[in-house]
Amino acid sequence: MSQSPPAASTSAATGGAGAGASCLSGQYNLWDVGSRKGRRDNHTDAKFLDRLVINATIARRKLRQVVWESQLVTQQISIAFLVPSTFLHLKNGRLGVLDLLSLNFGMLLLVGVLLVFASLSAGEERTLPIVWRSMRQCALLLTGIFFMSPLYQKLTLSVSSDTIGASSVLLLVLHLYLHDYKFKKSITETVSGAVSLGSAIATSVLLSSRLDTANQVFSYLSFALGLFVLSPFFRKRLHGLSPRAHLVNTLMMVAITVRVVGRISMAFAGAFVILVVLTTFVCPYLLISVEKHKVQISGPWDEAEVGAYKKAE
C-alpha cells in the first residue's frame, strides 16, 4: 500500500515525459508547404553544398594601392618623431624662440598660399573664405596658448623628468594607434580620433612644462598643435587635390624628420628610417601575402539580409 503512490507518480511522470517528448519533437519539425511532409530543422538535401560560395564579398587589395595609402601613416609617424625632437632642440638651446616662431608663421603662410593656388588650379572658388576662416581660428588658438603659457610652464614641477618622458612616449604610441587616418569631416568625429588627438595634446603639454621660459612654451605649443591639429586638414586637402603634391609632401616630411632627429642621435634617425620602410613597404607586402590565404564561405546557412531581400523583390 505504501508503494502504490510512487508507482502512480512514476506512471504520471512517464506519461508527462512522453507528452513532453512529443511536444518537443513537434516543435522542431518544419512544415514543407510543397510536399506536406515534416522535416527536422537540420535537414539537408543532396544539393545543399552546390550553393556554397567562397570569397564572395572579399575585395582583393593591390600592393601598389596599399603602399600608396600607407603614406598617411608615414606622415603621422614623421610628426610623432618631429615634435619631441623639436622639444629637445629647444631645450638644449640649438633652436631659438624667434626661429621657431618664424617657422610657425612661415608654415601657416605657406600652407595658405599652397591651398589657394591648388584649389584655384582645380577650379574651386570657395577656397578663399575657407582659408580666411581657418586663419581666424588659428589666431584665436594662438591667443589662448599665449595667455596660458605661464601656467603650462609650471604644470609638472613636482613630477620627475623620467615620468614625463615615459608618459610622452606612451601617449604618442596611443596617438598613432588610435588616429583616424581617413577622417571625413573632423579628426574628432569618432571616439578613437578624439582620444588620439587628446593624447597628442597631452604629450605636447607635458613636454612644454619642462621648458625654461613662457616664450619657449608658447612657441613650442604653437608648433606642436599646428602639426597635430591643423596639418591633418591640410594634408587631406592636398591628397584630394593633387596626388603628386601628396607624394612630394610625404618625401619632404620624411627628409626633414631624418635631419632633425639625426642632429640629436643617428641611432634614432636610423630607427625612424627602418620604421618608415617597414610601414610603407614591408607591412603592405605581408598584408597582400597573407590575404591570399583568407577563405570566407557563404551559402544558404547565412543569416538573411533584409536589404538584399528587398532588392531581390
Distance (Å, whole) CA 81 – CA 97:
20
pLDDT at 235 over 80: yes
Find where cell 607591412 sits.
283
Task: Supply the pLDDT for residue 206.
Answer: 94
Residue 3 banded pLDDT, cuts 50, 70, 90: very low
Q: How far does the chain reach from its first CA to its final CA, in angstroms? A: 70
Rounded mean pLDDT, 69-87:
94
Cβ atoms of 172 and 236 within 8 Å: the answer is no
Can you tell me the mean pLDDT for 23-31?
A: 43
State how far the Cα of 106 lies from the Cα of 112, in Å rounded to an integer: 10
DSSP string, 218-234: HHHHHHHHIIIIIHHHH
Choose from 73-82, 124-133, 177-186, 304-313 the range with maximum mean pLDDT: 73-82
Provide the pLDDT for residue 38. Answer: 59
Q: How confident is the model at residue 122 (pLDDT cuts 50, 70, 90)?
A: low
Region 5-30: mean pLDDT is 44
Predicted model pTM: 0.75
Confidence at residue 198, expressed as pLDDT on a 0 to 100 scale: 94
Residues of the chain above pLDDT 90, percent: 39
Question: Considering only 34-43, 89-98, 131-140, 207-216, which range has the smallest mean pLDDT?
Answer: 34-43
Say if CB 207 and CB 168 are below 8 A apart: yes
What would the grid cell of residue 166 be? Answer: 615615459
Q: What is the DSSP letter of 94?
A: S
Q: How far is CA 128 from CA 73, 132, 227, in A?
A: 29, 6, 22
Instruction: Identify which of 137, 145, 153, 132 has the alpha carbon closest to the alpha carbon of residue 101.
Output: 145
Write the CA distances from 120 to 11, 113, 115, 229, integer angstroms: 92, 11, 8, 24
Q: For cell 584630394, what's the residue?
A: 240
DSSP state of 303: P
Which candidate, 311, 306, 298, 312, places its Cα nearest to that of 56?
Answer: 298
> What is the C-alpha radius of gyration for the chain, rounded to an integer number of angstroms?
32
Whether 29 has a pLDDT exceeding 70, the answer reads no
Provide the angle, in degrees to the nearest 10, between the axes of the packed helices 231-241 and 97-121.
30
Predicted local confidence at residue 120, as pLDDT: 65
pLDDT surpassing 50 at residue 7: no
Helix (H, G, I), strand (E, B) or coil at 54: strand
Chain centroid offset of residue 256 CA: 24
Place of cell 615634435: 83
- Check pLDDT > 90 for residue 203: yes
More confident residue, 127 or 193: 193
* Whether residue 88 has pLDDT greater than 90: yes
- φ/ψ region of 123 (left if φ > 0, alpha if ψ in -120 to 50, else beta) reads left
pLDDT in tens, 278-296: 999 999 999 888 887 777 7
Per-residue pLDDT tens over the stretch 256-281: 999 999 999 999 999 999 999 999 99
Q: Round to whole Å and give the CA distance between 196 and 173.
A: 9
